[in-house]
Amino acid sequence: MKPVVVLIGRPNVGKSTLFNRLTRSRSALVADAPGLTRDRQYGDGRIGDRPYFVVDTGGVVTGLATAKDREDVTSGVATQVRTALTEADTVILIVDALEGIHPVDRVLAADLRRLGKPVWLAVNKTEGRDPATVTGEFYALGFGEPAAISAAHGEGVEELIRRVLEKLPVEEEIEPDQSVPRIAVIGKPNVGKSTLVNALLGEQRVVVCDEPGTTRDSIHVPVERAGRRYVLIDTAGVRRRARIDDLLEKFSVLKTLQAIDQANVAILVIDAQVGVAEQDASLAGYALEAGRALVVAVNKWDAVESSDRDWAKRELERKLPFLDFARMHFISARDGTGVGGLFRSVDEAHASAQRAMATPKLNRVLQAAVTATPPPLVRGRRARPKYAHQGGKNPPRIVIHGNQVASLSKSYRRYLANTFRKAFHLIGTPVLIECRQEE
Ligand code: GDP
Ligand code: GDP
């Protein structure tokens, strides 16, 4: 489980600038897929061998600081910040060196002290200034030595995150058994995840101990079906007794991200009655970025009039063009229809993600693809892809060697990926193309 670092502070202190810096390592896959959005408040990063999640609480924090919102903890905005804080392993409070201590900083500091979690104080916008002088007044907030940073210029940021992570226990990364599909059922609130998890569990009576873990943990349930084993990662909390903290929303983006991390196949559930919304695309973006195999379940199909179904299918395909590699199922979790098909597609996606691709065949496919459609000229030069080999699995990664291959356009890389996809029957998994240039 990656540690969760939450950024908090008044508006304009530089939270989103810091967030962007801490989550730089985003995959080209998502950027390449037009129409895929992602939630800018949740991201992940890695420093050395230590991965982490980072949450930007956004400009909403003044809500927390007003008396009204502190009384009315159920107000959406304050709840969101509180949810993030509940899920945090550590908090970075950001203040603005140019403005000095602001009254809201003191209110936040007091709130955070009551939280009882490690809090780091980062004094931002300190570029070109002497750290000792500029941080001096901020000792008064009571979090010890403040870190002088410049989020915009990247100064002090790496050192800060290193220190933050050093204080957190290192969790051993146990390489999970990839031979068993580990399924995360993901989707917005109310799309029918809990109902689907129950349908996937079927008649099984699985004993799950109610471990005290934190609320952001998901429960992993072993499932057997038609003689095959699966692990179901229950983000919906179906298997947890209803003792969830009232303050926590039932839906947690972080819990979803952790589940995607731990899974090797994600089932993205979409509500047929609602259609595709931005949050669906954003969750798909996380799964894709993590390189997960994916199956789409359009749920509540029973509630769609038969005369509307063709239109509804076209509409979904039009809005999810970036998921055209994944199987789409039209199901009713409530009635249990289509569940068997989902398992078959999970198997297929899982097998595709793990596919071993022999080098001679990869090379034959590459040569045929390049002959059929040569790469276009870039500034008078033509890239010459020569060899291919498999660089990894989960998801399949194909490394292409040759002259000028670094200049291959996104659309040409997509063409190659689709060609390999067809040749090796890679269905339901992203395919990564990595170009290694020879000079
Ligand atoms: P947020 O509202 O806390 O998320 O703040 P933003 O990240 O949007 O930043 C607010 C403003 O501060 C923007 O104009 C940033 O360009 C600026 N800013 C952020 N970091 C720095 C920094 O390190 N130095 C300076 N001088 N300005 C910064
Ligand atoms: P979750 O928040 O994603 O876990 O969603 P739930 O499983 O709690 O379901 C939300 C609502 O949708 C409930 O009222 C369910 O009864 C309803 N629902 C779930 N699956 C179906 C379905 O296949 N068809 C219809 N018509 N309703 C469904």
- Regarding the beta carbon of 101 and ligand 1, being less than 6 Å apart is answered no
pLDDT greater than 80 at residue 162: yes
Which of the two residues, 67 and 359, has the higher pLDDT score?
Answer: 359
Question: How many CB atoms lie under 10 A from the CB of residue 290?
Answer: 20
- Give tens-digit pLDDT for 103-156: 889 988 988 888 889 999 999 999 999 999 999 999 999 999 999 999 999 999
Average pLDDT of the segment spanning 338-344: 94
Amino acid residing at 381: R
- Please give the distance, rounded to the nearest whole angstrom, from the Cα atom of residue 207 to the centre of ligand 2: 24
Stated as kind and residue range, the H or E segment containing 392 is strand 384-392
- Give tens-digit pLDDT for 64-113: 444 444 444 333 346 667 778 888 999 999 999 999 999 889 988 988 88
Q: Taking Cα atoms as reference points, which of 108, 149, 103 lies closest to residue 125? A: 149
Q: What is the largest CA-CA distance in the chain?
A: 71
pLDDT greater than 60 at residue 243: no
- Regarding the beta carbon of 192 and ligand 2, being less than 6 Å apart is answered yes
pLDDT greater than 80 at residue 208: no
Q: Write down the pLDDT at residue 69.
A: 45
**Alpha carbon distance 207, 201 (integer Å):** 12
Give the 3-state secondary structure of residue 286. Answer: helix
Hey, what are 267's tokens? Answer: 């089932």
- Please give the distance, rounded to the nearest whole angstrom, from the Cα atom of residue 156 to the centre of ligand 1: 15
**Alpha carbon distance 167, 157 (integer Å):** 16
Q: Is 313 exposed, middle or buried (0-12, 13-18, 19+ CB in 10 A)?
A: middle
- Regarding the beta carbon of 99 and ligand 1, being less than 6 Å apart is answered no
Which domains are delineated in the chain?
4-167 (3.40.50.300), 182-353 (3.40.50.300), 359-437 (3.30.300.20)
- Please give the distance, rounded to the nearest whole angstrom, from the Cα atom of residue 2 to the centre of ligand 2: 30
Q: Write down the pLDDT at residue 39.
A: 62
- Please give the distance, rounded to the nearest whole angstrom, from the Cα atom of residue 182 to the centre of ligand 1: 40
- Regarding the beta carbon of 299 and ligand 2, being less than 6 Å apart is answered yes
With bands split at pLDDT 50, 70 and 90, how would you rate the model's confidence at 252? Answer: confident
Average pLDDT of the chain, as a whole number? 85
| Ligand 2 atom nearest to CA at 198 | 7
Amino acid residing at 35: G
Residues at the binding site for GTP are 9-16, 56-60, 124-127, 187-194, 234-238, 299-302
| Ligand 1 atom nearest to CA at 124 | 23
Q: Write down the pLDDT at residue 211.
A: 46
**Residue of 188, 190, 195, 200 to mutate, ligand 2, most atoms within 8 A of C-beta:** 195
- Give tens-digit pLDDT for 166-206: 998 887 767 778 899 999 999 988 899 989 988 998 865 44
What Rg value do the Cα atoms of the chain yield, rounded? 24
CB 53 within 8 A of CB 257: yes
- Please give the distance, rounded to the nearest whole angstrom, from the Cα atom of residue 244 to the centre of ligand 2: 19
User: What are the distances in angstroms from CA 31 to CA 122, 169, 299?
Assistant: 30, 33, 28
pLDDT greater than 60 at residue 394: yes
Q: Taking Cα atoms as reference points, which of 318, 348, 342, 340 lies closest to residue 328? A: 342
Q: What are phi and psi of 413, to 5 degrees?
A: -65, -40
Q: Write down the pLDDT at residue 26.
A: 53
Q: Taking Cα atoms as reference points, which of 291, 23, 17, 32 lies closest to residue 178? A: 291
Hey, what are 234's tokens? Answer: 């229950």
